[in-house]
Amino acid sequence: MEKRQTCPCHCDIPSASRRDFLSLSAAAGIGMILPDSHAQVQSIHELQGTAFRNREPITLATQINFGDQVTVSHGSGLTFSIGQDVYRLRGGTSLKLEAGTGLHLLTGALLGNFGGEPKTIYTRSAIIRIRDAAFYLDSRPAETYFCTCYGETEVQLAGLGRETYAATHHKPIMIYTPDGEKPSIQAMAEPERHTDDELRKNESYAGRTVPFDA
């Protein structure tokens, strides 16, 4: 006759059946903690206020990819990743992510930490090429503020050719594009409107550290 045993919840289960029950429970528990191999990597890291992907409101579950247009409302902020690149958008920013390696900053400001393929950013006044670098870009009607935070970037202006900027800890410039006049570039003494802590946080989302802390 099979010996019966009372389980902790006081139900009466035969000992052999109880062993089977515990084995099944353990297997089920393991299955519950295993990561989903099909789960998507989180795209949105920070969202303050309201932002839109292709006119649809962004939530923390939204996935942003190339081909999307991202718009951040005034007074809001958004930080997201695509692959090894991290984008921090200020309020009032609209960014078109072309299918490929082209980005159009239509308006506003972007702090980017790029670690993947080379990207080309188009603004009203300049074409900027970036690879494995961090930068801050603020596009306005008559001027564009650009800082190579670290790494190497290339700035191209109509009529001025290309200029390469290499930095280990910020090299800011102002690009002036007055109506009807030739564009010009002026070196700036100090970085503006972005901080080292923002750069550190961006890099942390990609599993990296800023080089000036090494």
Q: Parallel, antiparallel, or unpaired for β 119-122 and 102-114?
A: parallel
Per-domain boundaries in the chain: 4-33, 44-213
Domain range 44-213, CATH class: mainly beta
Q: Are 207 and 181 in contact (CB under 8 A)?
A: no
Q: Using one digit for the tens of pLDDT, what is the confidence trace for 16-42?
A: 444 443 443 444 333 333 333 334 567
Q: Are 209 and 203 in contact (CB under 8 A)?
A: yes
Indicate the pTM of the whole model: 0.80
Query: Which positions ≥6 away from 137 have C-beta within 8 Å?
Result: 105, 109, 110, 111, 112, 121, 123, 128, 144, 145, 146, 147
Q: Using one digit for the tens of pLDDT, what is the confidence trace for 115-161?
A: 988 999 999 889 999 999 999 999 988 899 999 999 999 999 977 88
Question: Quick check: 93 pLDDT over 60?
Answer: yes
Q: Are 134 and 151 in contact (CB under 8 A)?
A: yes
Cα-based distances in Å from 140 to 6, 92, 126, 170, 177: 75, 11, 11, 20, 10
Please give the Cα distance from 29 to 204 (Å, whole number).
31
Least-confidence region, from 61-70, 71-80, 87-96, 139-148: 139-148
Q: Using one digit for the tens of pLDDT, what is the confidence trace for 38-60?
A: 345 679 999 999 999 999 999 99
Q: Are 7 and 18 in contact (CB under 8 A)?
A: yes
Q: What is the pLDDT of residue 180?
A: 67
Please give the Cα distance from 55 to 164 (Å, whole number).
36
